[in-house]
Amino acid sequence: MTTSHDSAGRWSDLDRPPLNATALRRALVLPDGGLWTSLDVVESTGSTNSDLVARAGELPEGAVLVAEAQTSARGRLDRGWTAPPRSGLFVSVLLKPEVPMHRWGWLPLLTGVAVATGLGRAAGVDLSLKWPNDVLVRVGGEERKTGGILAEGAGGHGVVVGLGLNVSLRADELPVPTAGSLLLGNAVSTDRDTLLRSVLRSLERWYETWQRSDGDPAASGLQRAYAEKCATLGRRVRVELPGERTLEGDAVAVDGDGRIVVETEGGGTEAVAAGDIVHLRAVG
């Protein structure tokens, strides 16, 4: 695999320049310490998550792998995901949290908060989060999925968290009508170097705050921040659960374990740890 810096003279789309790996390392991999310990940009790979998981035992925490294109990217439930080269951010990071393992489930939610806040500053767009791992942007007044987050265990060597984010996708390039991009959401900047720096700095801040609180989502402010960004709360939802069971009701809270709490017609509640959410309408 070659780095995108090496391919800078072979742009196929002048609106989509390659990432500057040297400048990114200079800005993010700091000699006096910090979370990020290495940053590599590759021209193409199957999956940045799979690559980091395979190397997690030999790499220190804070390794970052970015691809200009992915050929076998996966979302939740092993769903495929594709995008044109250099049209987005396709990045994975290796984390080795020193907090109780039962709180590691907050990592994809923490990443969602970091992405939404970091891009809010750098791209000037108001992003929201669909539980548990989708990043939403408004396009023409409609909520559209512009990104997804996938966390995977690394065989006892921590967790790899991946982000796939549509940055400059045009309307005729969208894989499905419900997809969006920062460009279509009227972002003030689609400079991927700037956006990636902002996302990783935001992720570092949230991760360190969460770790200092021993992974406690309430004490770290993470639970409140996620609720503020979560577009699922306050909505009528249908949850497609494992085993072909469905649950319909009002999404009323995200609990201390990161589960979405759904209030059903009978007045009871159910906390859901895994499932596909369909937003039906606002409550009330």
Instruction: State pLDDT tens for residues 154-182.
Output: 999 999 999 999 999 999 999 999 999 99
The mean of the pLDDT values for the chain is 92
Which pLDDT does position 6 carry in this prediction?
39
Output 151-158 pairs: Cβ under 8 A, ≥24 positions apart. Answer: 151/107, 151/108, 151/111, 152/49, 152/53, 154/52, 154/53, 154/56, 154/57, 154/94, 155/53, 155/56, 155/57, 157/56, 157/57, 157/94, 157/96, 158/56, 158/61, 158/94, 158/95, 158/96, 158/97
Instruction: State pLDDT tens for residues 49-81.
Output: 999 999 999 999 999 999 999 987 555 445 555
For the cut 60, the answer to whether the pLDDT of residue 5 exceeds it is no
Which pLDDT does position 72 carry in this prediction?
72
Which pLDDT does position 132 carry in this prediction?
93
Average pLDDT of the residues in 128-150? 96
Among 206, 159, 208, 196, residue whose Cα is nearest residue 59: 159
Share of the chain above pLDDT 90, in %: 85
Which pLDDT does position 162 carry in this prediction?
98
Which pLDDT does position 267 carry in this prediction?
86
Which pLDDT does position 80 carry in this prediction?
56
